Amino acid sequence: MPEWVQQAVGGGVKGSLTIGAVAEEKLLGKSGFALSSPAFRDGGELDPSFTAIEDDAVAPPLEWTAPPPGTQELVLVVEDAEDGKVHWLVWGLKPQKGALFEGETPPRTGKNAVGNSEWMLPDPPLGVQHRYVFQLFALDLPLTLMPGAGYEELFKQIKGHVTAIAILTARFEGHEIEELGAEDFDIED
């Protein structure tokens, strides 16, 4: 993994990240291109409502600034920095300032590490912290992928076409899921 990628995500990347294979440092934040979330700060903790801890968990909200002029499409790839697993593949995002709201269904999605086309809920082992790297790529051409395409297909189409990148990192530590019984509630008869 290139040193600039390590620095951008806070070091210690054990898995492979798409950003290191399809982009170069000069594209990071080009023309002020940036990615953020109203739900967590860069390097901050993911709320359990976006993880496997909660039954009705959804994808976190994301916002981005306008990409550089000439951008044809935006692609989002979310990967685990510790094991390299793909948590979300999204494309078909308009090449302008925009957002994905909490739980919103994106225009096009591809298969994650477990083979479905949804936000793969973070679920690290108990007491182990993982980092999730949200990588937003500005491309100089529109993709021709069908919904449900896999990572390899997406990778082949974006390689050589990235004009800017924005990244955002979140962390989450594995928790025990508490099973509550009637005795856990203070209910008056």
Q: Side by side, which strands form the sheet with 35-36?
A: 35-36, 62-64, 98-100
Q: Is residue 43 part of a domain?
A: yes
Residue 53 DSSP class = T
pLDDT exceeds 90 at position 43: yes
Q: Greater confidence, 97 or 15?
A: 97
Tokens of 74: 């935006």
Q: Is 106 helix (H, G, I), strand (E, B) or coil?
A: coil
Q: What CATH code is carried by the domain that includes residue 55? A: 3.90.280.10
Polymer length of the chain: 189
Q: What is the pLDDT of residue 157?
A: 96
Question: What sign has the CA pseudo-torsion 124, 158, 10, 36?
Answer: negative
Per the structure, the complete domain to which residue 132 belongs is given by 3-175
Q: Is residue 75 part of a domain?
A: yes
pLDDT exceeds 70 at position 24: yes
Q: What is the pLDDT of residue 10?
A: 87
Q: Is residue 131 part of a domain?
A: yes
Q: What is the pLDDT of residue 177?
A: 59
Q: Greater confidence, 112 or 11?
A: 112
* pLDDT tens figures, 53-98: 988 999 999 999 999 999 999 999 999 999 999 999 999 999 999 9
Q: Is residue 46 part of a domain?
A: yes
What pTM value is reported for the model? 0.91
Q: At residue 65, what is the residue type?
A: T
For the segment 131-159, the average pLDDT, to the nearest whole number, is 96
In the chain, % of residues over pLDDT 90 = 80
Best mean pLDDT range from 1-5, 151-155, 179-183: 151-155
Q: What is the pLDDT of residue 178?
A: 56
> What span, in angstroms and rounded, lies between the C-alpha atoms of 108 and 126?
32
Q: Is residue 18 part of a domain?
A: yes
pLDDT exceeds 90 at position 186: no
Q: Is residue 188 part of a domain?
A: no
Query: How many structural domains does the chain have?
Result: 1
Q: Is residue 187 part of a domain?
A: no
The whole-chain average pLDDT of the chain stands at 91
Q: Which helix (H) or strand (E) holds 6?
A: helix 3-9
Q: Is 129 helix (H, G, I), strand (E, B) or coil?
A: strand
Q: Is residue 61 part of a domain?
A: yes
Beta-bridge mates of residue 139: 73, 162
| Whether the Cβ atoms of residue 123 and residue 174 lie closer than 8 Å to each other | yes
